[in-house]
Chain A
Amino acid sequence: MGFSWDYLLQGFAIALTFQNLFWALVGCFIGTLVGVLPGIGPSSGIAILLPLTTFLPPTPAIIMMAAIYYGAMYGGSTTAIVVNIPGEASSVPTALDGYEMAKQGNAGPALAIAAISSFVAGTLSLVGLTFFAPLCANFALAFGPAEYFALMLMGLSLVISLSGRALLKGVISMSLGLLAALIGQNPLTGAARLTFGSIDLMAGVNFISVIVGVFAISEVMLNIEASAKAVSLVGIRNLMPTWDDIKRCSGAMVRSTGVGFFLGLLPGCAPSVTTFVAYDLEKRVAKDPDRFGKGAIEGVAAPEGANNATSTAGFVPLFSFGLPTAPSMAVLLGGLMMYGLQPGPMLFKNNPQFVWAVIASMYIGNVMLLILNLPMVGMWARIAIIPFPVLAPLIIFCSVLGTYSIRFLLFDVWVMFVFGLIGYFMRKLGFPIAPLVLASVLAQMLETSLQQSLLISQGSPLIFFTRPISLVFMILSALSIIWGIWVQLKKKGVEFAAAEGEE
């Protein structure tokens, strides 16, 4: 099993059927919309729509979910440039130079270079995904429960150590996520735990409710608090960038693809982190770094490229190990599981048509997005200035609809509401949110693999240290925590504050 052209071509054959093309287009459209609208990010966007796609077969459903995800990555830049409101945290660096360019009357070229850079980086990293994912999956075939447990532990500890200075708060956030997941029934025995005698709590806390709550609801509350201001639209003229612009940015596009893709393979390195890294890198390699922040076109190309490279790279660990690297990937993982597809090496073996169709559809989706974004950018910019008082109730309506439809339980809607409040206070008090979300998704797999490993080892936890691959993961998780503590003590580590927003 490794990469084979046959599989990829078969994937294209499936992805090019009318139904799959249609849902990819719908996904790209909704994704761009989600990206453009402030107050709703890709994670909550996918989470809300996930339960509503159950009428679709798995392949078109996941094709659409993936399209929403990378579509949102495209859309986030539009508002950052035109109205200086980054739709997502990952678009914050884009706004630095993008909005400056727009103020100078160059909104057109800025938008165009953002779309082109996204396209180039997205496609280049798709090539990376195409060859990398099967390789990793091959490697992961040797994994047993012990290796999976160690891998997920490493994922969680990386996410925590990337919380930067808020290491302790990262651990707390993760523990709260694990706690939420523990409520309900023991997955092995079905016995009630932490339910305080309540029958509702027996159903357990669904992580979709958690995600929609901490992202969508708390974001709406923050916006209601800030009382969304009226924004003015910058006129968009001469859409096309000059050849000179493209030549000037080609280096930035390639560099940001590299940065975005390879960092994006690591858990915790969400687009909101890598876009800053890529922007910073461009500033360093530039001959005249003074231009940055004053409308440098590379300052738009670099973060946008890194953004898309990272979001594509996240599919490598998701497909080959079943390990989500960011909250939005965790939602996609939930979607796969809802359809009974267990991501990981067996996915490539048992459902090759499915995986390759999704990968192939991403190549097609990238082209669709370029077409959707370049000529229609004016329309998207106008959508972005829908007044928040109109938008907020509609986001809440969609959130309620989405969470109710997971299991058709009103309880899930209440859980969403409660986690909305929790998310609001966590953001206000400086707790990172990503560890909570990842922990609540990973908890079940973490627990199951722990149980299975201990069954194999007859109760001895040494199993995690005697098997070589598992040992490596354990050492890496320890190292990442030590690194996190070291950064904390040095008190001048890189600030990853942006990682606290939604990816």
Chain B
Amino acid sequence: MKTQRSADIASGCFLILLGIVVLIAASQIRGGMEERLPPRTLPYIVGTTILACGALLALKARRSAGTETPITWPTRKAMIRMAISLLAILAYIAVMTPLGFPLSSGLYVAFSIWYLKRSAVLTALMSGIVTGVLSYFVFIRLLELSLPLGTLFFD
């Protein structure tokens, strides 16, 4: 996956697989042919297109040896930074129901700012608190959005 060519081959193969999955899933859609647009038709068309384009992409890339353009992937350091940032988002979404929207948002914002900029401890803390408090008073109380309050505290 270092060059555009190998990346195209890899994404082509992935698309072929995806196309096959879509076609299999489409074949299991129930519903009769009595309708003017049978329910399987569109999924079949999309699945076939993905499969065909994926194959074409991979083949074209295979044939184009010699014209390599490198893709700049993140460095090791950047990769770790991205992975932890993504994990933080994952954790944020995962704990939203038990901890509630205000608390999980505050924790997420505080952690992420601190993680991305270690020197900004105070900014991180303040931003986290402001985010949590604003979420509660503006979005839940004032705008009355039904955001999760946290099953741990409120049942």
Contacts and interface: CB of A to CB of B under 8 A. Distances in A.
Interface in A355-381: none
Given A171-B49, A221-B82, A387-B117, A194 B109 contact: no
Given A224-B85, A389-B117, A189 B22 contact: no
Contact of B71 (A227, A388, A428, A455): A428
Contact of A410 (B49, B78, B86, B93): B93
Nearest to B123: A390
A179 B50 contact: yes
A169 B116 contact: no
Contacts of A392: 85, 112, 116
Contacts, number: 151
Interface string A191-228: 11110100000000000000000000100010011110
Contact of B54 (A172, A186, A193, A224): A172
A280 interface: no
A169 B57 contact: yes
B38 to A, nearest CB: 10
B116 A389 contact: yes
Contact of A193 (B39, B96, B143): B39
A450 B37 contact: yes
A400 B39 contact: no
Contact of A390 (B46, B90, B113, B148): B113
B74 interface: yes
User: Which interface residue of A176, A193, A454 has the most chain B CB atoms within 10 A?
Assistant: A193
A227 B112 contact: no
A225 B113 contact: no
Nearest to A454: B36
A227 B79 CA distance: 11
Interface SS, B side: helix
Given A172-B50, A182-B42, A196 B143 contact: no
A265 to B, nearest CB: 28
A405 B131 CA distance: 17
B73 interface: yes
Contacts of B109: 393-394, 397
A226 B74 CA distance: 8
Contacts of B71: 428-429
A417 B93 contact: yes
Contact of A225 (B37, B43, B74): B74
A171 B49 CA distance: 8
Interface string B62-89: 0000000001011000100110011001
B67 to A, nearest CB: 11
Contacts of A168: 53, 56-57, 60
A472 interface: no
A451 B127 contact: no
B112 A55 contact: no
Given A193-B43, A390-B127, A393-B113, A410 B7 contact: no
Contacts of B89: 217, 396, 417
A388 B8 CA distance: 31
Contacts of B43: 182, 193-194
Contact of A176 (B42, B50, B57): B50
A225 B75 CA distance: 8
User: Which interface residue of A179, A387, A459 has the most chain B CB atoms within 10 A?
Assistant: A179
Contact of B26 (A193, A226, A454, A455): A193
Contact of B147 (A192, A404, A430): A404
Given A179-B50, A194-B43, A389-B116, 5 more contacts: A192-B29, A390-B113, A393-B113, A417-B89, A428-B73
16 contacts: A172-B15, A175-B49, A179-B22, A182-B46, A192-B29, A194-B25, A226-B78, A389-B113, A389-B120, A393-B113, A394-B131, A401-B135, A404-B147, A408-B146, A410-B93, A428-B71
